[in-house]
């Protein structure tokens, strides 16, 4: 079953935002999508509580139980899994990487975040997998900052996801209300970026992107 892991050793790089937005896009496309939250902070699970009955479902799992959790979800007919992981947690990131068909690494295009990519790249090498860096929170008109960051990621042997997320209020405003950007602000750039990411991701994991439904219920 297509499984996407969201990993980054850096706190606050946008893992949970990315996991919740990507999984919700899957749900809107009519795919039975579940977020597996392996972070003891359980931020994605809290977001799902605020969200109420709307999809995607979010389940929590300690990293050591991730394989079993995925096995159980697979038997339940789940079509897509998005794993959210904690920062500064090697074991959790490693388990998620091992389980994944696609690994996304959100990173802000700034020095401290780029430094943290080194640890993630080393871990990928150890696990024998490749990962795509999704540049997140990219300021407007920061072309040089962006290309420098992408070059640094490439130097580390990481691929670059062709979709990036700008620094957009719609991401944090929506998350706090248990929503995603396209629900509060359907015409926002943030909503557009998530749509593009969904289409790219679906292709990467061999799914059809599907037609967008009106609600995620």
Ligand X SMILES: Nc1ncnc2c1ncn2[C@@H]1O[C@H](COP(=O)(O)OP(=O)(O)OP(=O)(O)O)[C@@H](O)[C@H]1O
Examine residue 13 and tell whether it contacts ligand X (CB under 6 A).
yes
Least distance to ligand X from the beta carbon of 173, Å?
8
Give whichever of 18 and 121 is closer to ligand X, judged by the CB atom.
18
**Which of Mg ion, ligand X, none interacts with 201 (beta carbon under 5 to 8 A by kind)?**
none
Note the residues at the interface with Mg ion (CB under 5 A).
15-16, 43
Least distance to ligand X from the beta carbon of 167, Å?
5
Examine residue 39 and tell whether it contacts ligand X (CB under 6 A).
yes
Residue with tokens 């979800």: 73
Kindly tell me which residue out of 3, 4, 17, 185 binds ligand X, with binding defined by CB under 6 A: 17
Least distance to ligand X from the beta carbon of 150, Å?
16
Write out the chain in H/E/C secondary structure. Answer: CCEEEECCCCCCCCHHHHHHHHHHHHHHCCCCEEEEECCCCCHHHHHHHHHCCCCCEEEECCHHHHHHHHHHHHHCCCCEEEEECCCCCHHHHHHHHHHCCEEEEEECCCHHHHHHHHHHHHHHHHHCCCCEEEECCECCCCHHHHHHHHHHHHHCCCEECCCCCECCHHHHHHHHCCCCHHHHCCCCHHHHHHHHHHHHHHHHCCCCCCCCCCCCC
Kindly tell me which residue out of 38, 136, 150, 188 binds ligand X, with binding defined by CB under 6 A: 136
Examine residue 15 and tell whether it contacts ligand X (CB under 6 A).
yes
Query: Taking CB under 6 A as the rule, which mask of x and - marks residues 51-90 in contact with ligand X?
Result: -----------------------------------xx---
Residues in contact with ligand X by CB under 6 A are: 11-17, 39, 43, 86-87, 136-137, 165, 167-168, 171-172, 175
């Amino acid at each position: 079953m297509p499984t996407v892991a969201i990993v980054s050793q850096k706190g606050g790089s946008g893992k949970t935002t990315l996991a919740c937005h990507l999984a919700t896009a899957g749900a809107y496309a009519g795919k039975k999508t579940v977020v597996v939250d392996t972070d003891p902070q359980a931020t994605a699970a809290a977001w799902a509580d605020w969200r109420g009955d709307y999809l995607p479902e979010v389940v929590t799992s300690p990293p050591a139980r991730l394989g079993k959790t995925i096995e159980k979800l697979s038997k339940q007919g789940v079509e897509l899994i998005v794993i959210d992981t904690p920062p500064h947690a090697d074991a959790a990131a490693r388990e998620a990487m091992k389980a994944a068909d696609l690994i996304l690494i959100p990173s802000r295009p700034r020095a401290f975040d780029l430094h943290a990519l080194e640890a993630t790249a080393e871990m990928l090498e150890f696990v024998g997998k490749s990962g795509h860096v999704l540049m997140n929170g990219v300021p407007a008109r920061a072309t040089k900052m962006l290309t420098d960051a992408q070059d640094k990621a490439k130097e580390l042997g990481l691929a670059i996801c062709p979709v990036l997320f700008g620094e957009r209020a719609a991401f944090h405003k929506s998350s706090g209300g248990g929503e995603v950007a396209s629900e509060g602000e359907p015409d926002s750039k943030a909503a557009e970026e998530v749509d593009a990411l969904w289409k790219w991701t679906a292709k990467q994991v061999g799914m059809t992107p599907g037609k967008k439904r009106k609600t995620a219920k």
